[in-house]
Structure 1
Amino acid sequence: MEKIKSLLPMLPYWRELNEGQRELIAKGAFFRRFEQGEHIHGGFGQCYILRGCIRVSVISAQGREISLFRLHSGELCVLSASTAFNQITFDTYLTADTECELLAVSVETVHTLMKSNVHFRCFMYELLAERFLRVMPAMQEVLFMSFEQRLAAFFVREHDRTGLTELYMTHDQIAQQTSSVREVVARRIKMFAAEGLVEQRRGAVRLIDIPALRALMCK
């Protein structure tokens, strides 16, 4: 309990809560840990990512999955938009991209704060708006870009985010991130390798020609 209380000031809206609301958060907060690839579910309305990365996606009735964006350490994740907003009737699917440690807040606590604290409610609306802004590029890529462009864009974003030229990801993992399937990813990476853009390694892809990949994504 004391460890949880020591971490609560990390919540971005903490300063806007009164003492009673802080006690409410303390009682409704708990730790959760998820292994890589595990579906994140159950028992909480939002979580602060202490360590790891969460992939957010939507899944159609036919089972097709489209990755929307990823959240990293230090970011707040709402388990389900409908948890906080009655007007929203669809949910996203959350997967632990890496092993994750989360500081979670119960659904009941989120509901209570939405009703009792205008600053918290405004924060949640702003968070939702920011998340929708992240969704738009992903939807534009799926709708208007070829897979060749999407894969190049993914490689460039990972390089820009991490500063690394070697991505330790399997074809399955890349397929999940690019809303595709392993066979298509493997075929396209083989073509990129033949063109001198990347080099295939066991469990990894080495990016060789970043400028060419950047030009390809904008073609």
Structure 2
Amino acid sequence: MINNEDLAYLKEQLGFWDKLSQKEKQLLVSNVYSINYKKGENLHGRDKDCVGHILVKSGELRVYILSEEGRDITLYRLTPGETCVLSASCVMNYISFDVLIDAEQDTEVLLLNIGAFGMLKEGNIHVENYAYKVAADRFSDIMWAMEQILFASFDKRLAVFLYDESARNKSNKINLTHEQIAKYVGSAREVVSRTLKNFESQGILKLSRGNLNIINKEKLRELI
């Protein structure tokens, strides 16, 4: 069960709440749990059961795929207020591939277990429509990520990532290591380091240990 604060957050974030019957609301509330994950902890993966519908309350999650050779590609990240239905793929018949989900920071989520989510989706058209919409939005993110990897030059991919990351955090300072950036853009750390040093030589940014600072956003945007 969840407390009143979590319930209020749930009502605010789930667009279908007002379309549920009283019985469906009771089913949902009695099957939602507040769970805390430590940074680096895996929530969902190949060897784990289908967990259900995830709503991020604080922190950040990374959704990615992993090749047999161990290379991973970040598909998208989830921040507070965002949801994931790919973690409920076992009741989403149109989803036929596995993703992994890790906590990028200490993260609190509200988790609707898979049984209740499946019952609500099957019994209420508004929940089903919501699930389709969230899945469609996420597949749009996935297609964008694949398009960047397949068709964009690495300079452009990295510039887009840095520009978006700056906008997302509302800061020109990006507190990520080269290893973390490489993970997010689907490349090797050495390639990221070399390209960042090139950007630094052009006066676009200033590198520091564990972070970087964008000092000329117009030049960065010209690369996009």
In the superposition, the TM-score normalised over structure 2's length comes to 0.90
**Helix, strand or coil: the match of 1:169?**
coil
Q: CA deviation at 1:160?
A: 1.9
- CA offset at residue 106 of structure 1? 0.3
Secondary structure of the residue that 2:187 maps to in structure 1? coil
SS in structure 1 opposite 2:43?
coil
**How far does the alpha carbon of each residue in 1:123-176 deviate from its partner, in whole angstroms, 9 at most, with x for none?**
111111111112222111100112111111111111222221111111111111
For the 8 Å contact 2:88–2:114, the answer to whether it is kept is no
| Partner of residue 9, structure 1 | 11
Which residue in 2 is equivalent to 1:37? 40
CA deviations 1:69-110 (Å, max 9, x no partner) are: 222111112252523312322122212122210010001111
The equivalent of 1:105 in structure 2 is: 112
- The one-letter code matched in structure 1 to 2:69 is Q
Q: In 1, distance between residues paired with 2:108 and 2:218?
A: 36
| Matching residue of 2:176 | 169
- 1:29-60 deviation per Cα after TM superposition (whole angstroms, max 9, x unaligned): 10111122222235631111111122221222
Q: Go from structure 1 to structure 2 and tell me whether the alpha carbon gap of 1:7 and 1:209 turns closer, same or farther (over 3 Å shift).
A: closer
- Alignment-derived partner of residue 95 in structure 2: 88
Alignment of 1:48-67 (within 5 A): 48-67=55-74
CA distance in 2, matches of 1:122, 1:88: 15
In 2, are the aligned partners of 1:81 and 1:91 still within 8 Å (CA)?
no
Q: Does 1:73 align with 2:80?
A: yes
**Identical-residue share of aligned pairs (%):** 35
* Residues 1:74 and 1:149: Cα distance change in structure 2 (over 3 Å): same
Quote the Cα distance in structure 1 between the aligned partners of 2:51 and 2:32.
9
SS of residue matched to 2:95: coil
- TM-score between the two structures when normalised by the length of structure 1: 0.92
Residue 22 of structure 1: aligned partner: 25
**Contact 1:44/1:79 (<8 A) preserved:** no
Aligned partner letter, 1:108: G
* 5+ residue gaps, structure 2: none
The one-letter code matched in structure 1 to 2:31 is: G
> Which runs of 5 or more residues in structure 1 are unaligned?
none
Amino acid at match of 2:58: R
Contact 2:159 2:221 (8 Å CA) reproduced: yes
Root-mean-square deviation over aligned CA pairs: 1.7
Out of 192-201 and 4-13, give the one that drifted further: 4-13
In the alignment, what sits opposite 1:185?
192
Q: 2:218 — aligned with what?
A: 211
Alpha carbons of structure 1 residues 109 and 207: separation in structure 2 relative to 1, 3 Å: same
| Greater than 3 Å deviation, 4+ residue runs | 4-8
Q: Is the 8 A contact 1:81 1:88 kept in 2?
A: no
Partners of 2:86 and 2:135 within 8 A in 1: no
Aligned residues: 217
Secondary structure at the counterpart of residue 80 of structure 1: helix
Q: CA 1:193–1:178 in 2, change beyond 3 Å: closer, same or farther?
A: same
Instruction: Return the letter of the residue paired with 2:93.
Output: N
